[in-house]
Chain A
Amino acid sequence: AQSVSQHNHHVILSEAASLELGCNYSYGGTVNLFWYVQYPGQHLQLLLKYFSGDPLVKGIKGFEAEFIKSKFSFNLRKPSVQWSDTAEYFCAVNFYGGSQGNLIFGKGTKLSVKP
């Protein structure tokens, strides 16, 4: 079955530290890739997306992600986190093959940034 794995359940960082959150998916075919962020008590917001082209994708709020097809990975990065980045981050994958846009989500990574 198609699946998405996020390696870290909870990450705690100090402000200005660098961030990398891992995401791997199970399927070897063509995919569209997304990272969403959910601030406490709020709904999901799209951070960035990859459909095709340059595998290094830049998103909002200084986030970027790199698609490595050979590793089935789409890791999220930020050079210097802020307290306001405290949130839960979800990786999501749309697998080609009649999915009708359905997304498979990872279980999420909670990021806590200490001021």
Chain B
Amino acid sequence: NAGVTQTPKFRVLKTGQSMTLLCAQDMNHEYMYWYRQDPGMGLRLIHYSVGEGTTAKGEVPDGYNVSRLKKQNFLLGLESAAPSQTSVYFCASSRRLAAETYEQYFGPGTRLTVT
């Protein structure tokens, strides 16, 4: 099992450009998440999905869109990149172990720089 994979690993964008980050998991998990990590801020939830075809906003959703067309994939889009979106992006997936009990598995991250 590859677990959670992310594509690409690194990317540099100019302000105003668009791009899509791909997250894929092979664990048949229902739940998937996108976080961003900034120095001194920890990880903050951008969007998440509780199943194929569903998405929901997290703590910092502005400037991002997501789609979950297939259960194993969760895409994060930046329509018009801004320097404030320079960050490391982590994807995670989880399954529900019991009521209200989940365990997340993280991908390796994508380092995005917007100039």
Contact B45 A44 (CB under 8 A): no
Q: Give the CA-CA distance A9 to B44 in the complex, in Å.
A: 17
Chain B: number of interface residues, binned into ranges: 20 to 34
Q: Give the CA-CA distance A43 to B97 in the complex, in Å.
A: 23
The segment out of B13-21, B77-85, B104-112 that lies at the interface is: B104-112
Q: From the candidates B41, B45, B48, B107, name the one contacting A43 in the complex (CB within 8 A).
A: B107
Chain A 48-66 interface 0/1 with B at a Cβ cutoff of 8 Å (1 = within): 0101000000000000000
Contact B42 A101 (CB under 8 A): no
User: Which residue numbers of B lie inside 8 Å of A, CB to CB?
Assistant: 31, 33, 35, 40-45, 48, 50, 56, 58, 90, 94, 96-98, 100-104, 106-109
Taking A43-B107, A43-B109, A101-B94 as contacts, is the C-beta distance between A94 and B102 under 8 angstroms? yes
Greatest chain B CB density within 10 A among A45, A92, A100 is at: A100
| Pair count A-B, CB < 8 A | 61
Contact B45 A9 (CB under 8 A): no
Contact A103 B90 (CB under 8 A): no
Chain A 80-97 interface 0/1 with B at a Cβ cutoff of 8 Å (1 = within): 000000000010101011
With a CB–CB cut-off of 8 A, which chain A residues contact B41?
Answer: 107
Taking A43-B90, A44-B106 as contacts, is the C-beta distance between A101 and B31 under 8 angstroms? yes
Segment 22-44 of A: residues with Cβ below 8 Å from B:
30, 32, 36, 42-44
Contact A107 B42 (CB under 8 A): yes
With a CB–CB cut-off of 8 A, which chain B residues contact A103?
Answer: 33, 43, 45, 104
Q: Give the CA-CA distance A105 to B107 in the complex, in Å.
A: 16
Contact A105 B42 (CB under 8 A): yes
Contact A49 B103 (CB under 8 A): yes
Contact A108 B90 (CB under 8 A): no
Q: Give the CA-CA distance A102 to B102 in the complex, in Å.
A: 9
Q: Give the CA-CA distance A53 to B33 in the complex, in Å.
A: 27
**Besides A43-B108, A101-B94, 6 new A-B residue pairs in contact (Cβ under 8 A), listed by A number:** A30-B100, A101-B102, A103-B33, A103-B43, A108-B40, A108-B42
Contact A32 B42 (CB under 8 A): no
